[in-house]
Amino acid sequence: MLTIRPAEVKDAPAIAKVHVDTWQIAYKGIVPQDYIDNLTVQNRTMSWVRLLERNPDLITLVSENHDGRIVGFASGGPIRHREPRFAAEISTLYVSPHAQRQGHGRRLFMALSNRLAQKKLAGLFVWVLAENDARAFYEALGGREVSEITRDFAGAPLREIGYGWAATPNYDSL
């Protein structure tokens, strides 16, 4: 059974492990390798503790598998850049490579979308690296390409595609 629940500070090490493991596989050949090689669970844990403790506008959810182990997470809140069509943004959504294609990502997306809609944040947005296979995931959920940007990341220009949903999807049944 999959369980989606709000993240707690004590979840930071498990969230960090999923974060690092996913980046090391999903972004290999996309993000500069020295950046990926320098990611550590310890550093990411400290970052997640700070985020969970100090950012009340950020909603972070975790997905647990049948044995209660955290295998995915998603976070979002008010949009972080000027985009009048969208009020909410998903800033992270990652599922451990060994737990992908089991419904965790879809359920995290649906649950987070619902929470953002309950906060009256209409319209949902997410940035995805153009070379990331996850683009198909967001397209399957009805996301439309609405923006594009190239940003410098660890010394490399990376193209990102912005996906949007005109009205935040309301998924009442998980």
The model's pLDDT over 1-12, given as tens digits with 9 standing for 90+, comes to: 789 999 999 999
Q: What pLDDT was estimated at residue 102? A: 87
> Residue by residue, what is the 3-state secondary structure of 145-161?
EEEEEEEEECCEEEEEE
* Domains, in order of start, for the chain: 3-165 (3.40.630.30)
**pLDDT greater than 50 at residue 74:** yes
The model's pLDDT over 6-65, given as tens digits with 9 standing for 90+, comes to: 999 999 999 999 999 999 999 999 999 999 999 999 999 999 999 999 988 899 999 999
Q: What is the mean pLDDT of the chain?
A: 91
Q: Which residue has tokens 């995915």?
A: 72
Q: What mean pLDDT do residues 78-97 have?
A: 90
pTM passes above 0.85: yes
Dihedral of the CA atoms 122, 136, 44, 62 (nearest 10)? 60
Asked whether the beta carbons of 101 and 91 are under 8 A apart, the reply is no
The model's pLDDT over 143-154, given as tens digits with 9 standing for 90+, comes to: 999 999 999 988
163 membership: H or E segment, kind and range: strand 156-165
More confident residue, 173 or 151: 151
Asked whether the beta carbons of 17 and 41 are under 8 A apart, the reply is yes
Q: What mean pLDDT do residues 66-90 have?
A: 91
